[in-house]
Amino acid sequence: MSKAGEVNQATGQAYQYVFVGALEANIKAFENKFHVHNAPEKTSFKGRTGKSFSFDFNGVLRDSFRSGEVFGESKGYTKGDNLLSEFRVFLAKAYVTSFDHERHRNDYFWFVTNVPFGCSEGSQIRSFDFVRAALIDASNAEVLEILGNGHIDDGFVRSLVERLGVFILTDSYLMNTDISYRVVPGDSIWTIVKKFHGGRAPSGFGHVAGTIAAKNRLPSPDEIRSGQRIRFRWRGLSRK
């Protein structure tokens, strides 16, 4: 059964690429490495009841102040009715991943969406009280499937709160900021643009391709190489 505001799979994957591309373009210390749909083994874990769960992307964050992996959940929705519940499940994933796996004790966990949510809670969704309450809520079946009846350590919750990130990147913002992408083998401007637009190219593709080539100083739209990082502007997604 679909949840309120959910989008189809192609659109969801496109949002995942767009969110990650916006984060990479605007947070210099962050670089993504894996997406769940092409490297699930890099983003998946088992909860305390044996139920598997996954994050949507996995990257690294390194600068002079912080260093660690980043596990992210991306939610490209049309409305935020169900997002607070989704965020609580994300918190359970983050806690188990970080507490139960020593390698990830100091890693970061980011929740990224395009629609506002948790309005009545405001910035408190990243507070110790909110996070702890979400983790001990016995009425949330999805949270319990991940946490089981395991102990929740208050000191560790405080540590996790310091490593949580919540990003609300609206469609308007995403269409007015740079998107960054590292070219992989087999890519062309055509396949990249389709990847970021739900499997279809936006109208005026020739102009879009020319703009990307000019922005990145490419001799032509056909001359890109694997490993090259390019920047471009996203043109939104059709809701048809």
Determine the longest span between alpha carbons in the chain, in angstroms.
59
Instruction: Tell me which amino acid residue 3 is.
Output: K
For 39, the domain range is 9-171
| 111 contacts 75 by C-beta, under 8 angstroms | yes
- 161 and 195 both lie in a single domain: no
| Half-sphere exposure of residue 91: CA atoms within 13 angstroms, side-chain side | 31
The CATH number given to whatever domain includes residue 207 is 3.10.350.10
Q: 140 pLDDT exceeds 80?
A: yes
Instruction: Please count the other Cβ atoms lying within 10 Å of the Cβ belonging to residue 148.
Output: 14
118 confidence band (pLDDT: 50, 70, 90): confident
Q: 3 pLDDT exceeds 80?
A: no
- 163 and 185 both lie in a single domain: no
> pLDDT (tens digit, 9 = 90+) per residue, 161-189?
999 999 999 999 999 999 999 999 999 99
> pLDDT (tens digit, 9 = 90+) per residue, 38-90?
899 999 999 999 999 999 999 999 998 889 999 999 999 988 888 999 999 99
Last residue of a domain, one of 120, 152, 171: 171
Rg of the chain (C-alpha set): 19
DSSP state of 112: E
The mean predicted confidence, pLDDT, of the chain is 92
